[in-house]
């Protein structure tokens, strides 16, 4: 090998070392959010209503707020996570996300037609969330409910839309 080839190898080797020395910490730094949850809080059921304030068999819309929520560096309190419909039957309460499983619009209650109606693409659901008509691939998404000491708490979740299976995002 002549001097020129050797020098070329030296430059290549040194450049590679420098590149790796910079790329490794840079990659570790940049991929941090892929390895760690950066938004936390609101997973547990949050208080939304008094049981005796809910009428029998008529849906009531409430918004679910996270008492504490951590978004990267900020610690929020009382952050609105989303809305849900509550339907009371005696001591039991059914909670359904207001997010339409079809394309994510907010489902409304049509009191005359006694059905949930999506204003975007006209999907219709019965009082217990079963799909009656329209493009929605599945029933309304139910949410976990806790009824304790006369208070109703709901664990709000967002689910993938446009799929037949209900999967958390």
Partner 1 sequence: MDRKWGRVLGAALAFALLLQAVTGMLMASFYAPSATTAWAAVAYIQEEVTLGWFVRGLHSMGASITVVLLGLHLVQTIASGTYATAPRRNWFLGLVAMSLVLAFALTGYLLPWDQKGYWATQVATSLLGETPLVGDYLRRVVQGGGDYGNLTLTHFYALHTMLLPALTATLVVIHIRWARRTQAWWPEDAWRDAIACAAVVAVGYALVVRAHGAPLEAPADPSSQYDARPEWYFLPLFQMLKYLPGKLETIGALGLPLVVGAVLVFLPMASRRTAFVAVAAIGIGAGGLALIAKISDAHNEPYQKGRARAEADARRALALAKKGVPPAGGMAVYDNDPAERARKLFADKCVGCHVLDDEPAAGKGNGAADPRRANGDEKGPLLTGWMSRAWLTDFLKQPDAPKYFGNTKKLHGMKPVKAEGEELRALVEWIYAQGGGKFDQALADRGHEIYKRDDCDDCHSDDGKTEGVDGAPNFAGHASAEWIEKLIRDGGLPTLFSDHNEMPKLGKEKLSDDDVAALATLIEGQRS
Interface ranges with partner 1 (CB under 8 A): 4, 7-8, 10-11, 14-15, 17-18, 21-22, 25-26, 28-32, 35, 70, 72-77
Burial letters 107-142, b for 16+ CB under 10 A, else e: bbbeeeeebbbbeeeebbbebebebeeeebebbbbe
Minimum CB separation of residue 56 from partner 1 in Å reads: 27
Minimum CB separation of residue 81 from partner 1 in Å reads: 16
Residue nearer to partner 1 on the CB measure, 6 or 89: 6
Separation CA 137–CA 4 (nearest Å): 67
Residue nearer to partner 1 on the CB measure, 17 or 44: 17
Residue nearer to partner 1 on the CB measure, 11 or 162: 11
Residue 148, classed as helix, strand or coil, is: strand
Minimum CB separation of residue 44 from partner 1 in Å reads: 16
**∠ CA 100-152-155, rounded to 5°:** 50
Minimum CB separation of residue 31 from partner 1 in Å reads: 8
Residue nearer to partner 1 on the CB measure, 16 or 126: 16
Handedness of CA 110, 108, 144, 140 (dihedral sign): positive
């Amino acid at each position: 090998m002549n001097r020129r080839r050797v020098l070329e190898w030296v430059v290549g080797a040194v450049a590679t070392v420098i590149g790796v020395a910079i790329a490794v910490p840079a990659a570790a730094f940049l991929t941090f959010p892929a390895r760690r949850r950066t938004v936390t809080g609101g997973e547990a059921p949050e208080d939304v209503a008094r049981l005796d304030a809910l009428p029998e068999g008529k849906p009531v819309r409430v918004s679910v707020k996270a008492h504490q929520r951590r978004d990267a560096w900020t610690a929020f309190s009382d952050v609105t996570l989303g809305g849900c419909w509550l339907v009371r039957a005696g001591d039991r309460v059914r909670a359904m996300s207001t997010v339409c499983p079809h394309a994510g619009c907010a489902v409304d209650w049509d009191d005359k037609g006694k059905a949930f109606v999506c204003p975007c693409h006209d999907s219709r659901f019965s009082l217990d969330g079963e799909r009656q008509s329209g493009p929605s691939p599945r029933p309304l998404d139910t949410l976990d409910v806790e009824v304790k000491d006369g208070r109703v708490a709901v664990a709000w979740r967002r689910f993938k839309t446009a799929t037949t299976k209900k999967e958390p995002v």
